[in-house]
Structure 1
Amino acid sequence: MTSLTLELTAPPTPRIDLAALTPDRLAGRSADAIRRLPLWVGNEEARLGDLFTVTAGDTDDILIRGDSDRLDGIGTGMGHGRIRVEGRAGAYLGRQQRGGTISVSGDTGPFAGSGMTGGSIEIGGNAGDFLGAAIPGERRGMRGGRIQVRGNAGDRVGDHQRRGLILIGGDAGDYCGSRLVAGTIVVLGRTGANLGFAMRRGTLLLTSQPRLPPTFNPNGTQEPGFLALLTRELAGLSGPFAQLQARGIRVHRWLGDLGYGGQGEVLVWT
């Protein structure tokens, strides 16, 4: 069966909240019922059919066509199925996602994957600030699942992250891994200032030497066994992450943040 297709009819000026459009919430609805669904557009309500052209299809496979960074909340809380976005997406992509797959061909806004506990997010372009991080007022960011970014990511990647895997094919901004509690962040490009600030545990895995804060101590050159398992798993992905197995498992290791227990680790391939 073909995908349920939603095509934006015109570039929006106010932001559109698409949190209601997940396979879970649309299951069993006809195309006409979907067209009548209310959406928040700024601080006003509108019918989905007034904003999108709806083509009937499988509600477990949703295709959104509309190159706009004002489409917020795509995939919020979804537990199964697939959402594909042709173009850009706005803020809060995959917030509190529990399962299923979200893929975006372009860039995404801030807080993608915030609070997610399962499933996967694939971003073909760049990701905004606070990727996989906690939103203001919360103390837990990403707690499971996988986020894959082909391009760059902004500041505060994985802030308050507790579990899960974040893969960044390009550069990451300042405070990458800040307040990290657990989980793994892999960056194939460069990283900004204050890497691992206030991290308690978890792993930052890099391909180039970062500028580390003085609260990180060198711990020698090692060959951690988990790295062989991780790169073997990543070999099944597309893009540069599939080639990491060829790097081997020999890394330089630093421990920190010493001001917060010093049990986190920064690993840099030799």
Structure 2
Amino acid sequence: MSALTFTLKISPVQRVDCSPLTPEQLNGKTAAEIAALPLWSGKRQLRVDELFDISRMGDDGGDDDSEDSNDDHIVFLNSSAHLDRIGQGMRSGRITVHGDAGDYLGLELRGGTLELHGNAGHFAACAMSAGMLHIHGNSGDYLGAGLVGERKGMRGGTVLVTGNVGDRAGDQMRRGLMLIEGDAGDYCASRMLAGTLGVLGKVGRYTGYGMRRGTLLLTQTPLLHATLADCGTHTLPFLNLMFKSLRGLPSRYAQLDQNRVRRYAGDIANQGTGEILVLLPP
């Protein structure tokens, strides 16, 4: 088997919309048809082969011209922060990106696996509903948030980030699992509706601002604003079950095994049934 590989051969001046390059949209197309697909870049369209060298890479890293090639696995090499909307709306298959990615990585992701070996721009996993997004690097603002004008953000699936994230991570998050191994910026879990969001590093100001429901799992006590209520320390056996369910993930969260926390409820100015759990040393 092989992966359909797009190697960026020029540095785009304008941002490029890569949303047409997903497994379901490319399956069944010939190499010539894929090369001729138009990609929006600013106010004009570019052919795929103007931006990328297209090949099929085998499991050994070499070119594969075999007849059993398929497009269920797509690889971007030498990727750039100017490449937006990689994996938009993907329902199945796998996309692997080597290099940085632009804004809206995994926008409306509905299935499959999207893996980035680099840094992502803003609005990664925006309106995601299923599948897995794994970022081996940093991500910008509004990770897992909602589209502009919508009242719900991430609706399902799993997001793993090995680095840091910007402001408003999990804004209006409705369902799913988001695990951040580094630091998070201001307004983490703002207006959160449900789901689970974890941060192993530090968080910025106004954590949980406007939070309605859901669980924010931290390892360091945040700077508390006035409408978060301190509920004291607790032993929560359900955390053992949750951490057990994370054992198979390629993440530092797979090593956690604690159930003693300090619990904060809030935002009490917005129904107040959300919770912030700060893990205590065993």
Taking structure 2 as the reference length, the TM-score comes to: 0.93
Aligned to 1:198: 210
Distance 1:264 1:252 in 2: 14
Distance 1:68 1:143 in 2: 28
TM alignment of 1:1-270, pairs within 5 A: 1-56=1-56, 57-245=69-257, 248-270=258-280
* Greater shift in the superposed pair: 173-182 or 209-218: 209-218
Structure 1: state its 5+ residue gaps: none
Distance 2:249 2:204 in 1: 26
Structure 2: state its 5+ residue gaps: 57-68
CA contact 2:136–2:161 (8 Å) conserved in 1: yes
Per the TM alignment, residue 121 of structure 1 is displaced from its structure 2 partner at its CA by: 0.2
Per the TM alignment, residue 109 of structure 1 is displaced from its structure 2 partner at its CA by: 0.3
Aligned to 2:66: none
Amino acid aligned to 2:173: Q
Deviations 1:101-160 (A, max 9, x none): 000000000000000100000000101000000122121110000100000000000101
Amino acid aligned to 2:277: L
User: What is the count of residue pairs matched by the alignment?
Assistant: 268
Distance 1:152 1:230 in 2: 23
Per the TM alignment, residue 29 of structure 1 is displaced from its structure 2 partner at its CA by: 1.1
Cα RMSD between the aligned structures? 1.0
CA contact 2:159–2:177 (8 Å) conserved in 1: yes
Three-state SS of the structure 2 residue aligned to 1:78 is coil
CA contact 2:7–2:79 (8 Å) conserved in 1: no
Three-state SS of the structure 1 residue aligned to 2:222 is coil
Per the TM alignment, residue 17 of structure 1 is displaced from its structure 2 partner at its CA by: 0.2
Distance 1:77 1:226 in 2: 33
What fraction of aligned residue pairs are identical, expressed as a percent? Answer: 49
Distance 2:54 2:26 in 1: 13
Per the TM alignment, residue 252 of structure 1 is displaced from its structure 2 partner at its CA by: 0.7
Amino acid aligned to 2:224: L
Amino acid aligned to 1:83: I
Three-state SS of the structure 2 residue aligned to 1:32 is helix
Runs of 4+ in 1 over 2 A off after TM superposition: 223-226
Taking structure 1 as the reference length, the TM-score comes to: 0.97
Amino acid aligned to 1:185: L
